């Protein structure tokens, strides 16, 4: 009888694993249906994430939740409701949607941790998700390109001459998928330096090709830094020499093959970089003009809200009045929206999670890389696609058994 109950419990957890597993498929379908996706209105992507939240809360009710998590989550939601009340305006629904995305990864983390404590969610499930995503995410990009049904990374007039540059598949935001590809590259590099096999080489080529295809300078920089870091890490290990040679050959062959197949696309990417470098200068070019938005936005915040604005934020207001868009640097966007109090609520949760579990090999490194990417490029803590992925990465900190020696 008891064995039967445990089996049924595991079956219900498989539902959650499946919901997470289909992430790249659902977001690609969302983009296909909505012509690139719609993050602010009711869409397949929003409905999909709403289902994840409902199932998560169901697990909380059935299997229980740690009291500390419950107190934290209730306090966070109370603060967010107050923030909405204070900063109520014409874009209230957009702000509500934004806050929903902000809370989503936290809900996923709490759910997986609660299930793990009941021995219903194991490390193997995370490994299954990461191994699957290493194939599925690149496939959604590469197949869309081959079929001619995707979207350019830059094709809305932001490129030189309004040209279409790069390729992001059917995904809504290129920075979201760029962040995921960065972490998957770190993951597959970690695998390939442990064991070289036809599968790991294939996964590596898939992820690297997807990265090159997108045409994002930030993505290229992260890929280069990760590669250098791994090569330096195993510099003194003679047993790794063969793997390093194979990896180096894979990188060179991948780049050469990519250049031969996508010469026109590469030329367009380089021309776009040259155009914006000459137009904006080095710092603005490297930050994609994000740095230019900081001074006027914070000046507006202090002028209109004073110390209260610094503590509690301005909600969604700064995106309409000052710059007509986000800063696109998560740390500053969260401070502008929720103030220092909200910043402590959100970042405090993640930092504490890391500090309590920082000896986990891959996931601790992935978390630090996440902080770097979210601060420099944004689109991690407050976006739908990155949010689900972030929830799984942070869950790996909690339940992974692989520790640093």
Annotated domain spans of the chain:
1-121+289-405, 136-287
The pair phi, psi for residue 403, each rounded to 5°, is -115, 160
Burial of 8 (0-12, 13-18, 19+ CB in 10 A): exposed
Of residues 65 and 248, which shows the higher confidence score? 65
- With H, G, I as helix, E, B as strand and everything else as coil, classify residue 360: strand
> Is the whole model's pTM more than 0.75, yes or no?
yes
The pair phi, psi for residue 165, each rounded to 5°, is -130, 135
Query: What pLDDT does 404 receive?
Result: 45
- With H, G, I as helix, E, B as strand and everything else as coil, classify residue 38: coil
pLDDT band at 14 (very low <50, low <70, confident <90, very high): very high
How far apart are alpha carbons 83 and 336 in whole angstroms?
12
How far apart are alpha carbons 375 and 255 in whole angstroms?
28
| Mean pLDDT, residues 141-170 | 74
How far apart are alpha carbons 111 and 392 in whole angstroms?
10
pLDDT band at 292 (very low <50, low <70, confident <90, very high): low
Q: With CA atoms as reference, report the closest residue to 219 among 376, 36, 368.
A: 376
Query: What pLDDT does 134 receive?
Result: 97
CB 337 within 8 A of CB 313: yes
User: Can you name the residues that pair with 305 across neighbouring β-strands?
Assistant: none
| Mean pLDDT, residues 220-230 | 87
CB 36 within 8 A of CB 87: no
CB 370 within 8 A of CB 175: no
| Mean pLDDT, residues 230-234 | 76
Q: What is the mean pLDDT of the chain?
A: 82
Q: With CA atoms as reference, report the closest residue to 65 among 106, 103, 13, 111.
A: 111
Tokens at residue 346, please? 């959100």
CB 366 within 8 A of CB 374: no
Q: Count the helices and strands in the chain (H runs, E runs).
A: 17, 0
| Mean pLDDT, residues 229-245 | 62
User: Can you name the residues that pair with 403 across neighbouring β-strands?
Assistant: 360
How far apart are alpha carbons 155 and 143 in whole angstroms?
20
Q: With CA atoms as reference, report the closest residue to 387 among 370, 362, 363, 364.
A: 370
User: Can you name the residues that pair with 154 across neighbouring β-strands?
Assistant: 165
| Mean pLDDT, residues 291-316 | 82
- 66 dihedral zone (left: phi>0; alpha: psi -120 to 50; beta): beta
How far apart are alpha carbons 401 and 405 in whole angstroms?
12
Give just the sign of the alpha carbon dihedral 92, 96, 326, 86. positive
Given a cut of 50, whether residue 403 has pLDDT beyond it is: no
pLDDT band at 245 (very low <50, low <70, confident <90, very high): low
How far apart are alpha carbons 20 and 94 in whole angstroms?
24
Lowest mean per-residue pLDDT among 184-198, 321-335, 364-378: 321-335
User: Can you name the residues that pair with 165 across neighbouring β-strands?
Assistant: 154
How far apart are alpha carbons 159 and 52 in whole angstroms?
36
Given a cut of 70, whether residue 402 has pLDDT beyond it is: no
Given a cut of 60, whether residue 161 has pLDDT beyond it is: no
Q: With CA atoms as reference, report the closest residue to 35 among 151, 187, 141.
A: 151
Q: With CA atoms as reference, report the closest residue to 327 among 283, 385, 373, 375.
A: 375
Tokens at residue 238, please? 């003679």
The pair phi, psi for residue 129, each rounded to 5°, is -65, -45
| Mean pLDDT, residues 164-168 | 78
Query: What pLDDT does 266 receive?
Result: 60
Q: pLDDT tens digits, residue range 116-126? A: 999 999 999 99
């Amino acid at each position: 009888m008891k064995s039967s109950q445990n089996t049924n419990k595991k079956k219900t957890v498989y539902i959650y694993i499946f919901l997470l597993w289909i992430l790249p498929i659902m977001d690609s379908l969302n983009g296909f249906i909505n012509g690139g996706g719609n993050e602010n209105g009711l869409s397949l992507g929003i409905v999909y994430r709403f289902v994840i939240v409902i199932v998560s809360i169901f697990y909380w009710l059935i299997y229980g939740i740690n009291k500390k998590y419950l107190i934290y989550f209730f306090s966070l939601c109370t603060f967010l409701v107050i923030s909405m009340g204070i900063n109520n305006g014409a874009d209230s629904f957009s702000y509500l949607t934004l806050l929903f995305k902000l809370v989503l990864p936290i809900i996923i983390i709490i759910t997986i941790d609660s299930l793990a404590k009941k021995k219903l969610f194991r490390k193997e499930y995370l490994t299954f998700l990461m191994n699957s995503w290493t194939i599925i995410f690149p496939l959604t990009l590469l197949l869309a390109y081959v079929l001619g049904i995707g979207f350019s990374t830059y094709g809305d007039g932001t490129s030189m001459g309004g040209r279409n540059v790069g390729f992001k598949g059917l995904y809504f935001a290129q920075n979201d998928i760029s962040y995921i590809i960065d972490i998957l590259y770190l993951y597959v590099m970690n695998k390939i330096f442990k064991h070289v096999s036809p599968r790991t080489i294939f996964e590596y080529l898939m992820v690297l090709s997807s990265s090159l295809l997108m045409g994002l300078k930030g993505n290229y920089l992260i890929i280069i830094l990760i590669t250098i870091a791994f090569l330096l890490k195993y510099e003194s290990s003679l047993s790794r020499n063969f793997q390093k040679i194979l990896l180096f050959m894979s990188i060179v062959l991948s780049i050469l093959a990519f250049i031969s197949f996508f010469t026109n696309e590469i030329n367009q990417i380089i021309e776009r970089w040259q155009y914006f470098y000459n137009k904006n200068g080095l710092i603005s070019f490297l930050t994609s003009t994000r740095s230019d938005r900081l001074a006027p936005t914070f000046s507006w915040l202090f002028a209109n809200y004073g110390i209260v604005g610094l503590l509690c934020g301005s909600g969604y207001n700064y995106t309409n009045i000052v710059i007509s868009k986000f800063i696109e640097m998560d740390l500053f966007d969260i401070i502008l929206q929720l103030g220092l109090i909200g910043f402590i609520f959100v970042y405090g949760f993640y930092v504490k999670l890391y500090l309590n579990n920082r000896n986990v090999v891959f996931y601790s490194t992935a978390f630090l890389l996440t902080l770097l990417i979210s601060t420099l490029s944004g689109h991690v803590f407050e976006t739908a696609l990155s949010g689900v992925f972030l929830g799984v990465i942070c869950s790996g900190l909690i339940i992974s058994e692989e520790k640093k020696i």
